[in-house]
Amino acid sequence: MGLSKSTTHRLLATLSNFNYVIKDEETDKYKLGLQILFLSRNLLNNSNIVSTAKPYLQKLSKEVNETIHLCIEDQGEIVYIDKIESNQSIQMYSRIGSRAPMHSTGVGKVILSDKNQQDFEKLLSKMKFVRRTPTTITSKEEFVKEIEKVKVQGYALDNVENEEVIRCIASPIFDHKGKIIASFSISGPSNRVTMEYIESTLIDKVKTYTKEISRNLGYTGSRI
């Protein structure tokens, strides 16, 4: 391109600040960041996770008539990569491409539950545990216990922890290697998405769809 090293360095630093590229600290090389994906909605929709999960999540949304989110983790935050709106009059503010904390979201807890100890500790050390609602978990010790519970039960709750009056249940999506590569959630006002409704209906729903989506991504293991 005929650019000097100093100019190239400045360009990469700027791109890195906006998450268009990410520097690999081990190799000292750069790779594309997730923000590149959000420049093109078509590219995002054609990604394997979104295209595979979308018909199932659309079906799930019709069954429960609540908002469905599909999320991944990027640099210690949750990124919404797809959203299916409900027909309800009260809807979620979230939008595709927006970010949310991991500690206060069900999808964040699910993804964290699959991290190895080293990666988990690294992410944990960077968390600020900001209190977003009166029920947000702000203690590191309590949060670790919460993640252990998620590992056992196979799903996670956002019990009005990220937004006032919004409750969510989240479940994992596994790839062919058995790794959690994404998480989806059912979200709605806490007067509709009650704990009783979650326990009687939604737990089984999300587990069923976890199995169906993951199988279509090549997962054949026994974690679901």
Same domain, 86 and 65: yes
Same domain, 184 and 128: yes
Residue 110 lies in a domain: yes
CB 146 within 8 A of CB 135: no
Q: What is the pLDDT of residues 148-203, one digit of tens each?
A: 999 999 999 999 999 999 999 999 999 999 999 999 999 999 999 999 999 999 99
Residue 222 lies in a domain: no
Q: What's the pLDDT score for residue 189?
A: 95
| CA-to-CA dists, residue 193 to 21, 64, 158, 214, angstroms | 39, 10, 11, 25
In sequence order, what DSSP letters do the residues of 27-49 get, joined into one string?
Answer: TTEEEE-GGGGGG-HHHHHTSHH
Give the count of beta carbons closer than 10 Å to the beta carbon of residue 25: 7
**Number of domains observed in the structure of the chain:** 2
Q: What's the pLDDT score for residue 31?
A: 76
Q: What's the pLDDT score for residue 40?
A: 54
Residue 194 lies in a domain: yes
| CA-to-CA dists, residue 98 to 47, 83, 93, 105, angstroms | 17, 11, 10, 13
CB 68 within 8 A of CB 84: yes
CB 140 within 8 A of CB 205: no
| CA-to-CA dists, residue 171 to 35, 107, 190, angstroms | 24, 7, 18
Same domain, 64 and 14: no
Q: What's the pLDDT score for residue 92?
A: 74
Same domain, 17 and 51: no
pLDDT under 50: residue ranges of the chain: 42, 45-46
Same domain, 103 and 26: no
Structural domain span for residue 210: 40-216
Q: What's the pLDDT score for residue 46?
A: 44
Q: Which helix (H) or strand (E) holds 101?
A: none
Q: Which helix (H) or strand (E) holds 26?
A: none
Same domain, 28 and 48: no
Residue 221 lies in a domain: no
The pair of structure tokens assigned to 52 is 């595979």
